[in-house]
Chain A
Amino acid sequence: MNTQKPNELPSEIVRLNAQERIQHLLTFVTFVLLVITGYMLRMPEEFILKFGDWGETIFYYRGITHRVCGVLMIATGLYHVIYLVASKSGRSFMFAMIPVWKDVVDIFQNLAYYLGLRDAPPKFRRFDYREKAEYLALVAGTIIISVTGVFLWTEVYWSKFVLDLSILIHGMEAILATLAIIVWHFYAVHWKPGQFPMSNVWIDGKMSNHHLKEEHAVQYEQMVADGLLAPVDESDHSGHGHSGHHKTFGRRLGEMMSLCTLIFCLIVSVLLLKILYFPSARSITKMQPADTGKFVGFVAAGQAKKTDTHFHNIDDTVKLTIAKQPICVSCHGTLPHSKSPDIRSFLNMHNYFMACETCHVRRADVKGEVAYLWYDNMTEEQVTVIDESKNGYYGARMVPVATLNGDTRRLDKASNPGFIAEYIAQKDNLTPEEQAEAKVILHKGMSKKPLQCTECHSREPYIDFVSAGYSKTRADSLYRTEAADMIDRYMKFYLPTMFDPDMIKEQKMKELELENRSTD
């Protein structure tokens, strides 16, 4: 830029003086902090809960910050008022800001220009209608939000009605202000071509005569006529655009950041619009207390309230997770047995550590050699050792595997997945007869009569538990103490003496005496 004019006229003006820049900076910082700390109260509940133990501290500083910034913002406003009245430049700022009839005309002319009905935009004065509108909205907004904020701060002196209204207005005004800043202000000083990535006026306060001529032609002409500003050198086109110029690293960085703020602001806007139009889309289904929440995944959605909590504190093990759910489960669920009232729970319990096919497919009905192997529920890898102390919750299930001519096949893997998928998709369109027919085909791998309790829980079990991976002790217990007796006499199974604590004690004493040990 040619600053060495013979008559030494400056080629740029001071658009914002130091005072005004400080006021802008204060407003900017307090506004951003107020928005952040304010909307922390409107965040989705899940996000708030994620703060965990930090929540209380965060909440404390959120409140402090919001109040401190609120006071600072009000103080900035008062400082601005004093500046407007007391200083010469302040008064000229105030008078230039007053809306006049020309602004109304300008709006229509400018819109006509946008629509291509005019060749050039209207000539603007020091502040155009956009800037005046924004400034006045800022003044009004600051007053509204400050007053309601003070009401809320001194809540004990006001009625519920005043407070309800204050909360409403405070929040609404905040949405309006934030969206206006994004759409109106940030566009004008950041993203508008020519300003992108950022106008520097708020930092150095300067505006070039090029820029002034373009955007505030009336002021430009006045200043040139008054001999305060060098006229734009028409042969110098450096003021127009930056195309063709080498982009410095700093500028690229600025552009990147500006683009990032654009994306960020878009997200913020969407969230604000959600708060505005769909504020209380809170779930009607209730949230769960933290320590019993684990149970929820286990229970089918939409169930009655009474099952949310369980008196006998539930742990994770009640939830059976299998990465690739067996096809049986998709129709029959994880608790499939319901027919025989006496034993259905016992049968269901087995589902936690063995595949359906372990009982529902007899070896005689399978071609080839059948072995019983353990497969991890998540990785599907074979497991050779199970942790028997885990009471059936091994993270693995016992699966029958058939070997025929060197080919092995897990019997819990459907041989006809295509047919099953088709059936599930179509079943609502089928007649009951067709459904029955399809079900016969679906279950053709199943044996007519499943294994009975006593076939496995017997002296000579159907499945050789030891070769299936159980320890000798455990394999024995599956017959002796734990299961067999009970199953044998199932229908009329009165509490046996072995379950009676006094009997147990008596038996223990006898044992100790026999071994000649102290019974104290």
Chain B
Amino acid sequence: MKKHVALCIIAWTVLALFIVPASVIAADEEGCAICHKYSGLARLDKTGKIRLFYVNNDMYKNSVHGKVLCRNCHLNLDIIPHTDAKKVDCATKCHLKEPSTDVDFSHGNLYAEVNDSIHGKGTEGSPKKFSADMPGCTDCHLNTIYKPVQGLDQEAGISRNALRRCIGCHTQKEWASRYYQHFSHRLHRSRTAVETVNLCLNCHQDATMMKRHDLPATANYRDTYHWKGVLYGDHNMPDCISCHAPVGYSVHSLSSMQDPKSPVYMKNLQRTCASTESSQECHPNASQSFASGKIHQTGLGFDETVAAFVRGETSLEEISGLNKDRRLRDLMDADADDVSAMSEQERFERKVYILVKWIYTLLITVVIGGMLIHQLMDFYRIVQNRKKH
């Protein structure tokens, strides 16, 4: 028995020797993890928002910024507590050198690209209207954990075979591994299509916010076949980026659909739907008429209004804020705000659509209801007759 205990103790010690150092040694040159390794290091700010100061060092090391020191992004950390800390600005120049030009590395050029795009906040002197609505870098980007490409099927993981070739010459294994991940991670999108859609919809399905910018809320994407396919995980199904920044366009320089440069500009739609330039053709035979018409109409009335009632939004403000312009009565009325921007034909088509919807809903209600009553009477009569016999 004692032998067993002793063995256990030895085994435990040996194990501990292997396990414990791994986490202790975790690179933390600046000593930040001494405090920031605790997951509860957080507080609520005045608005009730959580300010979380926890960083998982192991995850951080495997992220795209894993080699960047904390203080390279978080400036003015000299004092604890970090009262003087500056808000991180991705456009500042890091002390890292960009290897191709040997100048200080920075995301500034991308920042400028975004600022020139429809999502730009404008310059300091003349900010855009509602510039607070515009996304900053971290609204879309996380410090992503590396998901390198393993093979042509884009399975995540490191291809040992490929890495072996690097290590032949680049003997520093950790460096080679990191370099391998650095580029192979970029061979695929780090977000799934579902995540991308949810990211964009975070703002773009917000009817009030969109109204500020004279845009339709695009929540109706989630009624489309495209979205169902995305939900099922079909890689050929388009998310937002597939149409708004297809091959040849950058998500950082999205433009308004009124801009002739935009892939969703009316005259470019046919080409975008056909998508013949990408490795995957979507609707190669897309006709002009197929590629016309508004994709992201606002809600079509009836059902959304009922849905709002069901959710308990019974007060008029709530409904009117959300759905005023979607009510059937308003939609049928050509003078309503929502349809005033439409052409005569669009209005006509809208009315037909809503009319068909109403007729069908009514038809189903009456027919199925009538059938149900008929069958219940039939059942009642049979039971009554059986009782008599």
Q: Which residues of A contact B (CB under 8 A)?
A: 41, 45, 48-49, 51-53, 55-56, 58-60, 62, 111, 113-116, 155-161, 163-165, 167-169, 172-173, 175-176, 179-180, 183-184, 187-188, 192-194, 240-241, 276-282, 284, 286-292, 298-300, 303-315, 317-318, 320, 333-335, 337-338, 341-346, 348-353, 389, 391-393, 481-482, 486, 490, 492-495, 498-501, 504
Interchain CB contact under 8 A, A159 and B352: no
Let me know if B381 and A156 touch, CB within 8 A: no
The answer to whether A56 touches B234, judged by C-beta atoms less than 8 angstroms apart, is: yes
Q: How far is A320 from B31 in the complex, measured between Cα atoms in Å?
A: 25
A305 touches B39 (CB 8 A): no
A346 to B371, CA, bound (A): 68
8 contacts across the A-B interface (CB closer than 8 A): A111-B374, A158-B287, A158-B290, A160-B295, A305-B203, A345-B43, A345-B53, A352-B38
Interface 9-mer from B44-52, B91-99, B164-172: B44-52
CA distance A45 to B81 in the complex (A): 45
In the assembled complex, which residues on chain A have CB atoms less than 8 Å from the CB atom of B144?
A: 313
**Whole-angstrom distance from the CB of A110 to the nearest CB of chain B?**
9
Contacts A159-B290, A345-B42, A392-B40; A115 near B307 (Cβ below 8 A)? no
Cα A351 to Cα B40 with chains together (Å)? 7
Smallest CB–CB gap between A162 and chain B, Å? Answer: 8
Q: Give every chain A residue within 8 A of B286 (Cβ-Cβ).
A: 156
Q: How far is the CA of A93 from the CA of B69 in the complex (A)?
A: 84
In the bound complex, residues from chain A placing their C-beta under 8 Å from that of B379 are: 187, 192-193
Alpha-carbon gap, A492 to B83, bound state (A): 11
Partner of A279, one of B141, B202, B225, B303: B303
Contacts of A315 in B (CB 8 A): 39, 56, 59
Distance in Å from the Cβ of B367 to the closest Cβ of chain A? Answer: 7
Residues of B within 8 A of A349 (CB): 38-42
Q: B141's closest neighbor in chain A, by CB? A: A311
**Interchain CA distance A277-B357 in the complex, whole Å:** 11
Query: Across the interface, do A391 and B39 meet the contact criterion of CB distance under 8 Å?
Result: yes
Which of B115-123, B193-201, B250-258 lies at the interface with chain A? B193-201
- Nearest CB of chain A from residue B212's CB, rounded to whole Å: 15
10 closest A-B pairs (Cβ-Cβ)? Answer: A160-B293, A352-B40, A59-B232, A55-B233, A499-B31, A317-B39, A501-B29, A289-B195, A114-B377, A172-B360
Residue contact A184 to B375, C-beta cutoff 8 Å: yes
Cα distance A188–B201 in the bound complex, in angstroms: 47
Q: Nearest Cβ in chain A — how far from B21, in angstroms?
A: 10
Asked, given contacts A313-B63, A391-B38, whether A303 binds B219 with beta carbons under 8 Å apart, the answer is: no
How far apart are A116's CB and chain B's nearest CB, in angstroms?
Answer: 8
A313 touches B143 (CB 8 A): yes
Is there an interface contact between A179 and B228, defined as CB atoms closer than 8 Å?
no
Residue of A nearest to B51 (CB): A345
Expressed in whole angstroms, the minimum distance between the Cβ of A141 and any Cβ of chain B is: 11
Q: Which residues of chain B from 192 to 238 have any CB-CB distance to chain A below 8 Å in the complex?
A: 192, 194-195, 198-199, 201-203, 205, 219, 222-223, 225, 228-229, 231-235
**Would A53 and B219 count as touching, CB distance under 8 A?**
no
Evaluate contact between B143 and A312: CB separation under 8 angstroms.
yes
Whether A284 and B205, one on each chain, are in contact in the complex, defined by CB atoms closer than 8 angstroms, is yes
| A353 to B229 alpha-carbon distance, docked (Å) | 44
Residues of A near B229 (CB, < 8 A) are: 59
Let me know if B349 is at the binding interface, CB within 8 A. Answer: yes
**Stretch in contact with the other chain, from B3-11, B72-80, B100-108:** B72-80
Contacts of B141 in A (CB 8 A): 311
A159 pairs with B49, CB closer than 8 A: no
**Are B198 and A111 in touch, CB under 8 angstroms?**
no
Q: For residue B283, which residues in chain A have a CB less than 8 angstroms away from its CB?
A: 155-156
Contact status A278-B53, CB under 8 Å: no
The residue on A at minimum CB distance from B69 is: A501
Instruction: Report the nearest A residue to B27, measured CB to CB.
Output: A501
Query: Using an 8 Å CB-CB cutoff, how does the interface string of B346-364 with A read, 1 for contact, 0 for none?
Result: 0001001100110011011
Mark out the residues of chain B between 17 and 66 whose CB falls within 8 Å of any chain A CB in the assembled complex: 19-20, 23-24, 29-32, 34-35, 37-44, 47-56, 59-60, 63
- Chain B hits for A278, CB < 8 A: 303, 306-307, 310
Which chain A residue has the least Cβ–Cβ distance from B348? Answer: A161
Query: Is B38 touching A290 in the complex (CB atoms < 8 A)?
Result: no
Within the complex, the shortest CB–CB distance from A392 to chain B, in Å, comes to 5
A169 touches B360 (CB 8 A): yes
Q: Which residues of A contact B290 (CB under 8 A)?
A: 155-160, 163
A504 to B363, CA, bound (A): 80
Residue B268 interfacial (CB < 8 Å): no
User: B232 to chain A: which residues have CB within 8 Å?
Assistant: 48, 51, 55-56, 58-59, 62
Contact partner, B49, options A303, A313, A317, Cβ 8 Å: A303
B160 at the A/B interface (Cβ < 8 Å)? no
Known: A193-B386, A312-B60. A348 touches B42 (CB 8 A): yes
Contact of A289 among B80, B191, B352 (CB under 8 A): B191
Assess whether B41 is in contact with A346, with CB atoms less than 8 Å apart: yes
| A492 proximity list for chain B (CB < 8 A) | 79
Interface residue from B39, B81, B386 paired with A392 (Cβ < 8 Å): B39
Residue of A nearest to B352 (CB): A165
Known: A168-B357, A504-B29. A159 touches B81 (CB 8 A): no
Question: Complex: how many Å from CA A299 to CA B44?
Answer: 10
Question: Residue A501 contacts which of B30, B41, B202, B231 (CB distance < 8 angstroms)?
Answer: B30
Quick check: B368 and A494 within 8 Å, CB to CB? no
Query: How far does the Cβ of A65 sit from chain B's closest Cβ, in whole Å?
Result: 14
Q: Which residues of A contact B202 (CB under 8 A)?
A: 286, 305, 308
